[in-house]
Amino acid sequence: MEAASSAGPGAPGAASALGSLLRGLRGRLFTWNILKTIALGQMLSLCICGTAITSQYLAEKYKVNAPMLQSFINYCLLFLFYTVMLAFQSGGDNLLCILKRKWWKYILLGLADVEANYLIVRAYQYTTLTSVQLLDCFGIPVLMALSWFILYARYRVIHFIAVAVCLLGVGTMVGADILAGREDNSGSDVLIGDILVLLGASLYAVSNVCEEYVVKKLSRQEFLGMVGLFGTLISGIQLLIVEYKDIASIQWDWKIALLFVAFALCMFCLYSFMPLVIKVTSATSVNLGILTADLYSLFFGLFLFGYKFSGLYILSFTIIMLGFILYCSTPTRTAEPAESSVPPITSIGIDNLGLKLEETLQEIHSAAL
């Protein structure tokens, strides 16, 4: 009886403690900023889903395989909108001023962005869908490493746990694909395809880190304008070299043209909105959020392409979103770059030294008097 009476008062206390813990977690995980970040991330995922669906329609129904032409149209839209906008800017933000200072940096950035898009799409011809979905996640640890060294981002334990949870969700999605029978293509040369995916994912990471740096330190218009300029030049040259015959063999009609336009508009929206999301979050959190893009493509594919449904798709979506929310619940901190231990001599220091000497001389003179 004494044990029962002593345990009785503790039960409400434990329940209230558990309730306060749950309320605290809810208040931390479901704040307005996190909900806004989730909504923006899923908007980007829907843009990627649109590019995937239009590309699949072109490939399966119309036998059109021209990924560089699709990217070229998108870069042309970026050029016409953002590069022209930079040309009419005044001062240091003018297009010519930017080119004089940093032209070679933006050439490398445009090359990384163009080739990342091309390598991932080209990899589908050699390897399997499962390999692309899994190995494409290689870009996330590469992105975190680059952010650590270039952007001085510092992560906490919960960030690594959140990334692991998101990758677990991707693994669940791949398992659902296999069980649903979507893994039909064995690939012509799996090793080449896997290498292309790894290279493409790494270049995506480089492009995203550069994007975060430019957007947060400089401006969104500068990033998009420079990518539009050099992306158009690089993809146009590569288009003439690689896809000239494929484009010449296309039997054009209004449906094919409409699919190309829809793809370009989805890509243009993706490129236009991603810097806005990166500016309020980070490149890593954006890449975690858009892991759901494949799942949106699968959900639409149930109606458009006759995919088989699996309950694991819902589980996968839930796991990825849980990891994404965990990552966003705790902000990363930024470490300041190491500075020299020798204090620099500044004009302010010299002025202060002169004032001090003047005060000392005045004191000596008054004392002598």
Tens digit of pLDDT per residue, the chain (369 long)?
444 444 455 555 555 655 554 555 555 556 777 788 888 888 998 998 888 888 888 887 888 888 899 899 999 999 999 999 998 887 778 888 889 888 899 999 999 999 998 888 888 777 766 677 777 888 889 999 999 998 888 888 999 999 999 889 888 887 877 776 655 555 556 778 788 888 988 999 999 999 999 999 888 999 999 999 999 999 999 999 988 888 888 888 999 999 999 999 999 999 999 999 898 888 888 888 888 888 888 788 777 777 777 778 888 888 888 988 888 888 888 776 554 444 443 333 433 434 343 444 455 445 443
CA distances to 32, 208, 246 from 234, rounded to whole Å, are 41, 18, 18
Bridge partner residues of 177 (DSSP): none
Residue from 230, 204, 286 nearest 98 by CA? 230
**Do 122 and 67 touch, CB atoms closer than 8 A?**
yes
Q: How many CA atoms lie within 13 A of 47 on its CB side?
A: 20
Query: Any idea which residue has 């005060």 for tokens?
Result: 359
What are the residue ranges of helices labelled H in 243-304?
244-248, 254-280, 283-289, 293-304
H/E stretch holding 311? helix 311-329
* Alpha-carbon distances of 223 from 145, 210, 218, 271, 292, rounded to whole Å: 22, 9, 8, 10, 25
Assess contact for 233 and 75: CB atoms under 8 A: no
